[in-house]
């Protein structure tokens, strides 16, 4: 059975809400097995079993989060030259920008020779002071709908063999 693997890290809940919206829509709109898994719990075997990927993380200090980086560090070489051509997409929860975190993931995906199916989806929370940066996040309905659409699109493309 084809599988969509959604690997995420979330510190304040925003990224998890985004990843969950994508996972729910992917499961609803396809016959794929949808696996939503925390980055720290995901290894090379999960990458090899999947037909496509959605990588979701916050941007911390103008970079992908540390636990997401750890995931890529642990899985990069074990799956290199074994997953090329598979589709992927990116979700970033950012306080102000998010583009550097997305760029870092895109560079890793390029090394794996994955195929991007959409531009990175960046949700900006405008958290600029310590109290707001560390506070639990609530992602708005419009942004969650965009995440759901990306998840459904990725899953449908995998399901239909388009990607």
Provide the 10 A C-beta neighbour count for residue 4: 28
CATH of the domain at 87: 3.40.50.360
The answer to pTM > 0.85 is yes
What per-residue confidence (pLDDT) applies to 40?
98
| Owner of token pair 């499961």 | 27
With CA atoms as reference, report the closest residue to 44 among 74, 20, 22. Answer: 74
What per-residue confidence (pLDDT) applies to 154?
98
Cα-flanking dihedrals φ and ψ of residue 111, to 5°? -60, -35
Domain residue limits at 84: 3-160
Our count of domains for the chain comes to 1
What per-residue confidence (pLDDT) applies to 133?
87
pLDDT digit string, tens, across residues 111-142: 999 999 999 999 999 998 888 888 999 999 99
What per-residue confidence (pLDDT) applies to 71?
98
Mean model confidence pLDDT for the chain: 97
Provide the 10 A C-beta neighbour count for residue 126: 8
């Amino acid at each position: 059975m084809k599988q969509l693997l959604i690997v995420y890290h979330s510190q304040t809940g925003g990224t998890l809400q985004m990843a969950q919206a994508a996972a729910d829509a992917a499961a609803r709109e396809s016959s794929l097995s949808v696996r939503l898994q925390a980055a720290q719990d995901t290894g090379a075997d999960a990458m090899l079993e999947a037909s496509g990927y959605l990588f979701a993380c916050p941007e911390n200090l103008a970079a992908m989060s540390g636990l997401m980086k750890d995931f890529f560090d642990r899985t990069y070489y074990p799956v290199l030259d074994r997953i090329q051509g598979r589709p992927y997409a990116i979700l970033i929860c950012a306080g102000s920008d998010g583009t550097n975190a997305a760029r870092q993931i895109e560079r890793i995906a390029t090394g794996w020779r994955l195929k991007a199916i959409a531009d990175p989806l960046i949700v900006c929370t405008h958290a600029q002071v310590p109290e707001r940066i560390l506070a639990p996040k609530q992602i708005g309905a419009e942004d969650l709908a965009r995440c759901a659409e990306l998840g459904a699109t990725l899953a449908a493309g995998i399901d239909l063999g388009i990607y």
